[in-house]
Structure 1
Amino acid sequence: PDVGAPTVPSVSAESVKPTEAHVRWRASLDTDDTKLTYKVYRNGGSTPVYTVDGDSVEWSRPQLSFTDTNVTAGSTYSYRVTATDGAGNASALSSTATVTVPTSAQKYAAKVLDDGANLYWRYDESATPFVGDTSSGDQSGIHVNGPSLRQTPAAVTGPSTAIGFNGSDQIVYSDKRTTVPSQYSIETWFKTTTTSGGKLVGFGDNTTRASGNYDKHVYMRNDGRLVYGVWTGSARTITSSNGYNDGSWHHVVATQGSSGMALYVDGSQVGTLAESNSQAYSGYWHVGGDNLNGWPNQPSSNYFNGQIDETAIYPSVLSAAQVQSHYTLASAPADSVQTVRATDDTYVNAGAASTNYGTSTSLAVRGSAAYETYLRFALPAAPAGTVLKSARLAVKTTTLSTAGSTDDIAVRPVTGSWTAAGTTYTSRPAVSSTSVGTLTG
């Protein structure tokens, strides 16, 4: 009988827009079943918020994902996922993936998604081997030989990290076999001081082994100059006039379509070629290395020694304006969100006018001034060059049967002074007559 449970899913979560949180996980492995059922649980709940079936085998464990649109900007959410096979054997809950929804869109990431990326690796993972795809394409990646994770500072402003490669055997490859359309764009950021070159991004027909067919790639020569090439029976390439192995972050975009090929570096076009053809085959995207045998000015190493960030693939040709916009938005100031808990809290009770409840483990509110709760929050200073844009009060009831309210609760500023240890109903502070918000009953 089938009594073995699937492996536990590898889960991560991300939010780049204030309207949604993106949960993604690597498909589990089960030795008896290829089709598994996945359930997503939010905030420790016992009822799944999403259920989906997915196919996987040992050599292909693709990404599945769930976009949660029932979120509030500024709030933090946690997610866990289980996998169940056809016989009802369920994996343990995955580790918790936590994400805070931003109050405004992350400018760079949102632009990449809006411009149609169908593979977008941001390299924010803290564990191998799963590289989450932020796009809707679900083309996750797999680390090979343990690249260095969570490298900072990253290429893009905001809560993001990069990935580091050793230049000898470390890569990331996409876990889904695919083909490349006649129009496409390749985009990534890189930082290096290497003098042995290496492939940054490219397409090839193998995963962990060196590819036999390989083109549609950007590689670095030993002198730091970039080469973008396709294969049409011979190598057709564009080479930058400048070297970029100076230890700074650089942005590179390579495009091909009906008008030919173009190479951009740091927002500016550095070369074009009237070539609209390339080799047709199915394969996988590679970052950090793959075969370069036979290509012009082949570097000493096929593998890149340096950091890479924000790799994206598009099924379209990015325009010069879009490329420039991406380069500019990478350094745009990013919003940050902090969770601030109450530093003081108490309540008063008209039925016990002289009693202080500062040490109580509960807070009470009624539909009148007979019970009032007071909360104080110490707000951190805004970082230099930024301002406080908004604040949100979140209140959760306990699991007690008496918790909750049928009344709406008004939230008002306190205008008088008070302390958690000294406030009673008799000495309660003055409260503004203006309500700044409402907690719905």
Structure 2
Amino acid sequence: MLKRTLCLLWFFAAFAQAELVGEWHFEGDTLDSSGNNILSEDLGNIPLTYIERDGQEAAYFDDESYVAIDFAYDTPQEAMSVSLWFNTTYDEVYTSWAEEIANWSLIDFDRTDYYNLSLTSDGRLDLGITFITSGSTIDYITEEAYNDGDWHQTVITYGEDGGLQIFVDGDLIISDIYQGAFGKTGSVRYGIIGDGSEAETYDGSRNYHYYEGAIDNIALYDNELSLTEVESLFATDSLAAVPSPFIGASTLFLTLLFRFWGRKENTQPQGGGMTR
């Protein structure tokens, strides 16, 4: 019975990789490298250009550049994480909402339906997210601006264990309690990189508030990340060194169980005896 249980646990652990939803490294293209084969196309009036970043490439979004991704949220979600690098010098003084959002968006699933990750016109990081319980949209905006022409990494992670956490360059900048599932019941929103999304279909309606600057190494998860995983993402600039949270825990658990089972088998009586 124990061996059968171990086999079942091993089976489910082996197929937990789907927690990585999508991954875009922008090495001269917009291909999804997560293994989930998400269609992702450069469809803006001004095509992306690719710039050098630490010996590799990153995508530069000019005015009217964007990437449509064939992935959508269609039901409220209990958890998620987003990781990406950005570099911009866009800086404008604003006196209205329309002027504040002139440099949207890094990645967007519609802030009033799911969430939007962007920079304000004066360079502050802004996560707008809608929670199903309250039905309200909350904007979490950093005090510091990051439009200094240097590369910055941000990780947004949300879930029941850690609540909402916003990291920039490895440091925790904003945190809040868990507020239940995010999203709007009955709403479908496809993702857009480099512009705001109102899309109910792939490459659907947009906001036409284009991001001006560079983006690299976007990764989407459908679960929250641990502090160790956040630190590893910042240090390695890659998800390759970050194990799936479930896989890591399951592997340790299974290893201990197998060791216990082996010890138990080694203590069986010799000479055909049987324990009950």
TM score, norm. by length of structure 2: 0.63
1:324 is paired with a residue whose SS is: helix
Cα contact 1:166–1:305 (8 A) shared by 2:
yes
Deviation at 1:214, TM superposition (A): 4.2
Listed one character per residue, the Cα deviations across residues 164-191 of structure 1 (whole Å, up to 9, x for unaligned) are 1124x22112124444632110111100
Query: What aligned pairs does 1:37-436 form with structure 2 within 5 A after superposition?
Result: 116-125=19-28, 131-145=30-44, 146-152=46-52, 154=53, 157-158=54-55, 160-167=56-63, 169-179=64-74, 181-195=77-91, 196-204=102-110, 214-232=113-131, 233-258=135-160, 259-274=162-177, 275-280=179-184, 281-290=187-196, 302-330=209-237
Please state which structure has a larger fraction of its residues in helix: 2
1:147 is paired with a residue whose SS is: coil
Separation of aligned partners in 1, 2:25 and 2:79: 23
Deviation at 1:291, TM superposition (A): 5.1
Deviation at 1:115, TM superposition (A): 10
Query: Do the aligned partners of residues 134 and 200 (structure 1) sit closer, same or farther apart at CA in structure 2, a change above 3 Å counting?
Result: same
Deviation at 1:141, TM superposition (A): 0.9
Give the ranges of 4+ consecutive aligned residues of structure 1 lying more than 4 Å apart after TM superposition.
none
Equivalent position amino acid for 1:244 in 2:
Y
Deviation at 1:277, TM superposition (A): 3.0
2:105 is paired with a residue whose SS is: strand
Separation of aligned partners in 1, 2:145 and 2:124: 4
Structure 1, unaligned stretches of length 5 or more? 1-113, 205-210, 293-300, 332-441
RMSD between superposed Cα atoms in Å: 2.6
Cα contact 1:193–1:247 (8 A) shared by 2:
yes
Which structure is richer in relative contact order (CA contacts within 8 A, separation 6 or more)?
A: 2
Deviation at 1:136, TM superposition (A): 2.0
Separation of aligned partners in 1, 2:20 and 2:47: 24
Aligned match of 1:436:
none
Deviation at 1:229, TM superposition (A): 1.9
Cα contact 2:106–2:118 (8 A) shared by 1:
yes
Equivalenced residue count is: 195
Cα contact 1:260–1:276 (8 A) shared by 2:
no
Equivalent position amino acid for 1:325 in 2:
S
Aligned match of 1:104:
none
Cα contact 2:190–2:197 (8 A) shared by 1:
no
Aligned match of 1:400:
none
Equivalent position amino acid for 1:189 in 2:
W
Structure 2, unaligned stretches of length 5 or more? 1-16, 92-101, 199-207, 239-276
TM score, norm. by length of structure 1: 0.41
Cα contact 1:202–1:214 (8 A) shared by 2:
no
Separation of aligned partners in 2, 1:188 and 1:216: 15
Equivalent position amino acid for 1:119 in 2:
G
Task: Tell me which structure has the larger Cα radius of gyration.
Answer: 1
Cα contact 1:147–1:163 (8 A) shared by 2:
no
